[in-house]
Amino acid sequence: MRKLQSAHGGYDAGSTYENIYEKDVTLALVKDIGTRLEANGYPVVYTRDSDEVPWPGNEVEDLTERVRISNESGAKLFVSIHTNAAEVVNGSYGYEIWGKMKEDTVVSLSKNILTELDTLGYSQNRGLKDQNLSPIQVLQNNKLPSILIETGFLASENDRLYLMDETKRKVFADKIADGIMKTLAEEEK
Ligand SMILES: [Zn+2]
């Protein structure tokens, strides 16, 4: 079983650009990733599958609840989907993956997904980022091999137009699903 998390939701829009909300982009991506996994026989647990969130409207309880769902899920992997904050560095673009890079499964999962995304000719690969440098709550307290994918910058026109294009976004989601499935196949050997 895989666990998929579309970041933010409900009261929390995440990063925004004009009228585009991170929470909507991540939900669309997660639904497409989950659909492909399920079509290939891999059940998926979602922290949310709509804009309704079951937890209270504050960030600490929100993230605590997501980690609890993950730790009790019996899943093999945890994948959290984000778009990057506009304000990180102006002019930034590309995708990157955060995780505990001392864990072998985390590294192979991250590399498998980046290798798949690199085939798209989309934006740029910003590489693996070790969350120990800057701990992220959903990863730090998560018992599963867990990663956080920053899929692109909404403030980057290049990234935004790609992620807002339904057809391109679907292919992007499929590539993430393929990287997840490749890792699960390797783990089961
Ligand atoms: Zn986010």
From the CA of 178, how far away is ligand 1's center (Å)?
A: 22
HEC assignment per residue over 31-50: HHHHHHHHHCCCCEEECCCC
Kindly indicate the confidence band of residue 23, based on its pLDDT and cuts at 50, 70 and 90: very high
Q: What's domain 2-188's superfamily in CATH? A: Zn-dependent exopeptidases (3.40.630.40)
d(CA 26, CA 18): 16
Kindly indicate the confidence band of residue 53, based on its pLDDT and cuts at 50, 70 and 90: confident
68 against 174, higher pLDDT: 174
Give Rg (Cα) of the chain.
15
pLDDT over 60 at 64, yes or no: yes
From the CA of 45, how far away is ligand 1's center (Å)?
A: 19
From the CA of 21, how far away is ligand 1's center (Å)?
A: 10
Please tell me what DSSP assigns to residue 82: E
β partners of residue 16: 21
What are the sequence ranges of the domains in the chain?
Answer: 2-188
pLDDT over 60 at 88, yes or no: no
β partners of residue 20: 17
From the CA of 189, how far away is ligand 1's center (Å)?
A: 33
